[in-house]
Amino acid sequence: MARTVDFYFDYLSPYAYLAWLCLPEVTDPRDVEIVPRPVLFAGLLNHWGQLGPAEIPPKGRHVGRDTSRFAALRGIPLRSPRYHPFRPLVALRVSLAVVSHDRQKEAITALYKAGWAEGIDLGNPGDIGEALNEAGLDGEQLVAAAEEPLAKDTLRMETEAAISRGVFGIPTMVVEDELFWGLDQFQYLALYLDGKDPLASVETVGHGSLGRAVVRPGSVGRGQGNSGEVVKPS
């Protein structure tokens, strides 16, 4: 069987858009199959107690400039969707294998192009349907299928399964049990696929801490408990 990379994404992230376009540079030469895994980014944030970049204005500006630099160097068209953030539920459900079937990757590519290269509203079902039609897919049928209970339940299960694997952000690539988060992890992903993971030569036993010594007020990590001294401003 060919090796696979699970690609966890949400259309909200420009990093995930760029990763979708560039990941084949890593996987194709190594005969590795990309398995798309649409997940609800908000679900990840809620579970792990995080804020998204759009909810932290300086971070949002950094993401915009960082991804624009990356795209400019690669000659990749990049512009924000008409509204951001937007509700990605319909787009994500359309992109599930149980909805778009053997044309899943075509649907994902069409929506990423329409949103992040052409600036359509990726939260609008009508715009989503038109973008899919332009790509030679049946947009109306796919959007309608995205509203069925099967699509809604599957997206929920995919998000829960991602959380159970430790996925906390997007884009995330998972090979076997190894997780690579972010566009800047491609070099490490490539090394791992080549059997040259630098961690293989590093003694990791004893590198972990014995636990928390302090806890920032209002920031109790999921599954971490609330032991330790609370740091208070002086």
What's the pTM? 0.91
Could you report the per-residue pLDDT of 103-134, keeping only the tens digit for each? 999 999 999 999 999 999 999 999 999 999 99
Strands 3-9 and 32-38: parallel
- Report the pLDDT value the prediction gives residue 234, as an integer from 0 to 100: 42
| pLDDT over threshold 80, residue 7 | yes
Per-residue tokens: 205: 């036993």
Give the residue among 35, 39, 12 at the shortest CA–CA distance from 23: 35
- C-beta separation of 122 from 100 below 8 A: no
Could you report the per-residue pLDDT of 177-216, keeping only the tens digit for each? 999 999 999 999 999 999 999 988 877 655 667 788 888 8
CATH of domain 3-198: 3.40.30.10
- Report the pLDDT value the prediction gives residue 233, as an integer from 0 to 100: 43
Per DSSP, the three-state class of 106 is helix
In angstroms, how far is CA 76 from the centroid of its own chain?
Answer: 19
- 134: number of CA atoms within 13 Å, CB side? 13
Contacts of 45 (CB under 8 A, 6+ apart): 51, 52
- Report the pLDDT value the prediction gives residue 106, as an integer from 0 to 100: 98
Could you report the per-residue pLDDT of 34-84, keeping only the tens digit for each? 999 999 999 999 999 999 999 999 999 999 999 999 999 999 999 999 999
Strands 229-230 and 3-9: unpaired
- Report the pLDDT value the prediction gives residue 182, as an integer from 0 to 100: 96
In angstroms, how far is CA 157 from the centroid of its own chain?
Answer: 15
- C-beta separation of 97 from 145 below 8 A: no
Per-residue tokens: 11: 């259309």
Tokens 């609008």 sit on residue: 124
- What secondary structure does DSSP assign to 133-167, as a single string? HHTTS-HHHHHHHHTSHHHHHHHHHHHHHHHHTT-
Contacts of 74 (CB under 8 A, 6+ apart): 18, 22
179 C-beta neighbours (distance < 10 Å), count:
17
Of all residues in the chain, the percent with pLDDT exceeding 70 is 90
Contacts of 156 (CB under 8 A, 6+ apart): 40, 43
| pLDDT over threshold 60, residue 222 | no
165 C-beta neighbours (distance < 10 Å), count:
14
